[in-house]
Structure 1
Amino acid sequence: MLIEQKPVIFTDLDGTLLDHHDYSFSAAQKMLAKLASAQISVVPNTSKTRAEVELLRDKMGLSGPFIVENGAAIYLPKSFLPIEPDGMEQIGDYLRFAFAAPREKWLKLLLSVDTQFKGLFRHFAAMTVEQVCEATGLSFTDSELAMQREFGEPIEWLGNEQQKNLFLQALTDLGATPVEGGRFIHLKDQCDKAHAMNWLMAQLKRQFVQHNWVSIALGDGQNDVAMLAAADYPVRIASPVNTLPEFKTHKPIITSTLTGPAGWSECLESLLF
């Protein structure tokens, strides 16, 4: 149990708070209610889009900040912080701080490697909703939400491992920072989940000095490594399909025995209650 500390939970969604196969969070519902009762913030920190996260937050009963597209931007409810940080822009009902360039930058870059790797990949902007349904297992409606990218671009790899390594190197040489998630390669700017998490923690520590703030991060994939390594309490969630993410940290690493949302609840129970 964390004593005399004010925790903030930063969580990956797919494969962590959401089941890898059916995207259900039912195994975490009791824990979400418990955290809400304890007034502990749960901040989604995900590769998903704003449109996707807004819908999920409503279903989960979350009302705080959220981080989208692998750390590309953070959205804050307008009343979340007493003082508005510099650099915020108003987007609908939220204040947004962007850490990344707009999506158009990456769509142009993918055009430049299309000939070299033709037929070996496809990406969301060039896919139909039906193709995204097939690639993700999402419903038609949820796939439409997933396609509303603002900053990065998910890529479905169709070639072999050797070809993929060449592809990743080509993107890197062009200035991209491709990250492999549970299902897709994510083409994005040089920002990550850790940077966005650290930004929010710095705001909280600056504006609410009476609390001893600590970060708990939970994730199951390679795109969670930076976030996990930077957290005060890193938690690896076991996956039915992927190996556990490996990273270096001087802090004790907590690893679930259960997968997905059941493992999520298991670890938070041992840490907080």
Structure 2
Amino acid sequence: MTQLIIFTDLDGTLLNSETYDYAVTVPIIQQLKSLKIPVVPVTSKTRVEVATLRQDVGLSDPFVTENGSAIFVEVNHNPFNKPPGEREGDYYVVDLGCPYVQARAGLRVIANELQHSLLGFGDMTINRLQRYTGLSAKDAQEAKAREFSEPFITPKAVTSEQIVEAVEAVGFKVVVGDRFSHLIGPDAGKGNAVERLVALYQSILPTDETIVTIGLGNSPNDIDMLAHVDHPVVLPGLNGPHPQLGDRGWDIAPVPAPEGWVEAVTAICQKFDVALQS
């Protein structure tokens, strides 16, 4: 017996990178739900951002926020035999990251190490964050609701190698991106979160049942997740896959999100005799 688990990034993967449309994925997600195949968002977004989207899309499975800083499991939809973490309101939380205040303090130390100012989300007003991201005021507010990590504008005058070296010197990790980088705790990471969730799911399965993991992402901050799944799939943009993901031998979806997400998930499920109707 095989238990499929789908781990997915959101922006540019489940959601169209320009319009954030996801409508075509909803029927597939409902079919996966009826087949008890978990669909687990693994994203740089905050808890409140993901909670809003999960409600809209119809997801109830666990989710991972802030680049692998925490796993959230709804108390009313807990698939595991016992609470997987500490209860906070409507969720059990498996904390893999560091407190936000610690990330903020770390960013200041790293800026001193680099001798270069670093502008984090916590330094910006809602209006300023809107100008940098194009988000609505409500979405910008949710993006600023950090609990474990601090995104900052990737400086152009500093190399990614210099950023990583400075971050690691003060005991943090960093996910360097083209526009924004994310300062996360030393034990955080999308790959670590995937491993923890797979172990949790394995603990409730019969000994003769095997987990097969599918991962879908579109950008360098998904590499850690995609490297920890059995079937990694890269969602391309309008100009093809991101240069850092396109030459790794991973499957590439035939078209961008969200249609590419549907086609990739449907194709892999068919390999395991799971028929989905698109």
TM-score interval (norm. to shorter) = 0.7 to 0.9
Residues 102 and 247 of structure 1, relative CA distance in 2, 3 Å threshold: farther
1:76 alignment partner, SS class: strand
Greater mean deviation of Cα atoms: 17-26 or 57-66: 17-26
What TM-score do you get using the length of structure 2 for normalisation?
Answer: 0.86
Q: 2:170 aligned with 1:174, yes or no?
A: yes
Q: Distance in 1 between matches of 2:50 and 2:13?
A: 14
Q: Distance in 2 between matches of 1:260 and 1:114?
A: 36
Residues 168 and 240 of structure 1, relative CA distance in 2, 3 Å threshold: farther
Aligned twin of 2:182: 186
Offset of residue 138 of structure 1? 1.5
Q: Distance in 1 between matches of 2:202 and 2:164?
A: 37
1:235 alignment partner, SS class: strand
Post-superposition Cα deviations, 1:167-194, rounded to whole Å, max 9, x if no partner, equal: 3432222222111246410100132111
Q: Quick one: which amino acid aligns to residue 218 of structure 1?
A: L
1:186 alignment partner, SS class: strand
Q: 2:210 aligned with 1:212, yes or no?
A: yes
Q: Distance in 2 between matches of 1:212 and 1:227?
A: 19
2:25 alignment partner, SS class: helix
Greater mean deviation of Cα atoms: 52-61 or 120-129: 120-129
Q: Distance in 1 between matches of 2:94 and 2:247?
A: 27
On the 8 A contact 2:80/2:201 being kept in 1, the answer is no
The number of aligned residues is 265
Q: Quick one: which amino acid aligns to residue 166 of structure 2?
A: A
On the 8 A contact 1:120/1:159 being kept in 2, the answer is no
Aligned twin of 1:257: 254
Q: Distance in 2 between matches of 1:30 and 1:244?
A: 31
1:238 alignment partner, SS class: coil
Aligned twin of 1:243: 243
Q: 2:34 aligned with 1:47, yes or no?
A: no
* Stretches of structure 1 lacking an aligned partner (at least 5 in a row): none
Post-superposition Cα deviations, 1:250-272, rounded to whole Å, max 9, x if no partner, equal: xx732112112221111011111
On the 8 A contact 1:121/1:159 being kept in 2, the answer is no
1:155 alignment partner, SS class: strand
On the 8 A contact 1:225/1:246 being kept in 2, the answer is no
Offset of residue 6 of structure 1? 1.5
Aligned twin of 2:109: 112
Q: Identify the match of residue 229 of structure 1 among 227, 230, 237.
A: 227
Q: Distance in 2 between matches of 1:243 and 1:23?
A: 22
Greater mean deviation of Cα atoms: 30-39 or 5-14: 30-39
Post-superposition Cα deviations, 1:9-32, rounded to whole Å, max 9, x if no partner, equal: 110111111121222213423322
Aligned twin of 1:76: 73
1:10 alignment partner, SS class: strand
Greater mean deviation of Cα atoms: 137-146 or 73-82: 73-82
Q: Distance in 2 between matches of 1:202 and 1:167?
A: 32
Q: 2:52 aligned with 1:61, yes or no?
A: no
On the 8 A contact 2:32/2:38 being kept in 1, the answer is yes
Q: Distance in 2 between matches of 1:229 and 1:116?
A: 30
Aligned twin of 2:16: 19
Q: Identify the match of residue 156 of structure 1 among 153, 158, 175.
A: 153
RMSD between superposed Cα atoms in Å: 2.3
Greater mean deviation of Cα atoms: 167-176 or 91-100: 167-176
Q: Distance in 1 between matches of 2:103 and 2:72?
A: 22
Task: Give aligned-pair identity as a percent.
Answer: 32
Residues 167 and 193 of structure 1, relative CA distance in 2, 3 Å threshold: closer
Aligned twin of 1:101: 98
2:153 alignment partner, SS class: strand
Q: Distance in 2 between matches of 1:131 and 1:16?
A: 26
Post-superposition Cα deviations, 1:39-87, rounded to whole Å, max 9, x if no partner, equal: 321110111000100000001000111111111110112242342256x
Q: Quick one: which amino acid aligns to residue 48 of structure 1?
A: K
On the 8 A contact 2:246/2:252 being kept in 1, the answer is no
Offset of residue 91 of structure 1? 1.1
* Stretches of structure 2 lacking an aligned partner (at least 5 in a row): 270-274
